[in-house]
Structure formats: C-alpha cells, structure tokens
Amino acid sequence: MSRVDYLIVGQGIAGSFLSWYLTKAGKSVLIIDNNEPFTASRVAAGIINPVTGRRVVQTWMINEFLPFALEAYTSMGTDLGKQVITEKTMIDFFPTPQMLLSYRERIAEVADYVSMGEDNTRFEHDFRYDFGYGKIHPCYLIDLPSLLSLYRAKLKADGLLLEEDFREDELKNTDAGVNYMGIEAEKLIFCDGVGAARNKWFSALPFAWNKGEALLVKCKDLDPGYLYKKGMTMAPMDAGYFWVGSTYEWNFEDPLPSVKFRDQTLAYLKQWVKKDCVLEAHLASVRPATVERRPFVGLHPANNRVGMLNGMGTKGCSLAPYFASQLAGHLTENTPILPEANLQRYSRLLNRSR
C-alpha cells in the first residue's frame, strides 16, 4: 500500500495548477487522468480577455486575476522550460453601427483595457469590416497544448500520474482520509470538469454545462501578432494555425463536432477574412460552467475527505491559477477561500443530497 498527501482527479488546467501549488507547498500528490483528448482544457484557445460580452464590461475580479495569472503562467513556464503565456492585443471589429456606438460609450468605464482603433484602414488588407474596430489590451494567450503536455510528461517522469479512468466505487473513507485501490491519501480533490458533476458527492450542484465548438484553420500570411474578433474569435496557435470559435450551446444533443457549425463558420470566415483559410481540424467539448457563473472551490461540507476545484466555464485560464492557489492554501494552511467561490455556500444542498 502506498500513501500520498492528496489524490487529484483530472489533469486539465485546474488539476495541473492545484498539483503544482501543492507540490510547491511540500505536499505529495498523485493525479488520476485518462488522457481524454477532447476535454474543455484541451479544446480551449487559452485566451484571457479582461472584458466580456456585447456590453463590453470588465470581467469579474479581473484586476486581481490578470496579474496573478501572468505570474503563475510565467512561473510554471519557467519550471517547464517553455514560455506558455504571451501578451496580445485583441482587435475587436464592430459588426454593426450600434456596436460601435456602444463601444464608444463604454470606453470610459473600462479605459484600463479598451481603446478605439487609431487607423480604421489598418487591417483592410486582411479583413472585411465596415464600422472600424476597438482594441482590448492586455489580453493573454496561453499555450495550453504545450503546458498540459509538458506538465504531464513531468508528472509521468516523477511517477505522479495514473493514466486510467477514475473508479468512483473504489474510493473508501478511512480514519486517516481516503483509500483508492490501495493508495491512501488525506483527501481527494475532483478537478475533472463535467465528470465531477456526475459523481455521488457533487451531482446536486447547479452546474450549467454548455457545449463549445471551434475550428483549427491555416490562413496564409495572416498576421499572428494579434487576436481578432468579429462575432467569432481568431487566436494564433503554433505552426501557423488559427483557432476559430467558439459557440456557447446550452441545449445540445451530444458533445460531438457538428456539420452545422463547421459549414457556418467556414462560410463566415470566407466573408470576413480576405486570406484563404484551410480547415485542418474541428473540435468540440462541454464546459463545466455553473448557473451563477462562479466556480466551485473547497471541501464537501458533509465529507471533508473529498473536495472540488471546478466550474470555471469559459474563464478557466484566468480563474484556475488563482483558485488552485486558494485551495492549496486552504488545504495546507487553512487559509480562507473567496466566499463567492467556496463550496460551503452550498452546504445545505450538499448535506441534503449526500
């Protein structure tokens, strides 16, 4: 029988950062992950955008999350020997005159991040747009494929990864914590996205799953120095690819890529982008969003041997490092978790459903 301090289910962005912070705190960890290729972390573009929505509002707590994410990704990249975060400006093309007017009206309230384009002809060689553009800065682009694969390789090399499905029926409570198939640990933390919403401890939580689809395309001679947005978002990736997406489908029949999205997006690109865009891949996944758009962080109120770091939705790249650090601090030093994210806010619901 072996023993570690913490078992973690899931090696997406949340599980990776949680294990990283716990290890830095001197704790031993073991991650259980089946290497599913189409999880939300592996399909996402990796964009951190300080404003959101058609009303151009500042995202929740972005003044705290943005500098924290910059430091966290920079530090993890240093540990992995690769730069995984890049500062970008988003070119936000206005699709209608109304959006142009709305943008101008909102600039004063989000002036730290938003400005008008200085030269409305600047991108005419690459894109079709009639109403000018705004600029969002700084945005950050996270190289999620490199981060997740390099960190996974490190876990494997250090013997800290079980590449298999988590088997809920094999987890037993013990006097000292939990036992999973002969491995003893103080606690087990679920960081497995939509998978955690199906287990017996957390299925009662108000998840609000939504499906997202994206295309990977190659656009010859399109400047990779920016993020581009006009309804859809284009984000530069390695090897000349651009990620194009994403949808937010609240009602869907399955998590698979759809012909409808592919055809509509390719037609939209042809209308918007003046460069030839060649389809290379079509991706889809289900995001672990929540009804109130706040994550689930902490220990189960009726069973403190199990916990969760989940519910990041579309903001996983900005939320995961911050709340992984908070949860690691709570586990090791009993420091507080932000009340808006703390699982204890659902103590009555979770106590009733156990």
Beta carbons within 8 Å of 45's beta carbon, 6+ residues apart: 141, 214, 233, 235, 237, 243, 245, 246
In a domain, 68, yes or no: no
Cα–Cα distance for residue pair 309/30, rounded to 1 Å: 16
User: Alpha helices, DSSP H only, in 25-61?
Assistant: 40-43
Q: Which of 287, 309, 325 is the last residue of a domain?
A: 287
Q: Which of 262, 287, 312 is the last residue of a domain?
A: 287
pLDDT tens digits along 66-107: 999 999 999 999 999 999 999 999 999 999 998 898 888 888
Q: What is the per-residue pLDDT for 227?
A: 97
Domain of residue 242, residue span:
76-142+208-287
Structure-derived torsion over alpha carbons of residues 22, 24, 26, 32, reported in degrees to the nearest 10: 40
Same domain, 234 and 334: no
- CATH number of the CATH domain containing 33: 3.50.50.60
The token pair that represents 290 in the structure block: 């929540």
In a domain, 59, yes or no: no
Length of the chain: 354
Same domain, 183 and 212: no
Best CA proximity match to 203, nearest among 31, 354, 39, 20: 354
Cα–Cα distance for residue pair 111/107, rounded to 1 Å: 5
pLDDT tens digits along 187-230: 999 999 888 878 889 988 998 888 999 999 999 889 999 999 99
Whether pTM > 0.95 for this model: the answer is no
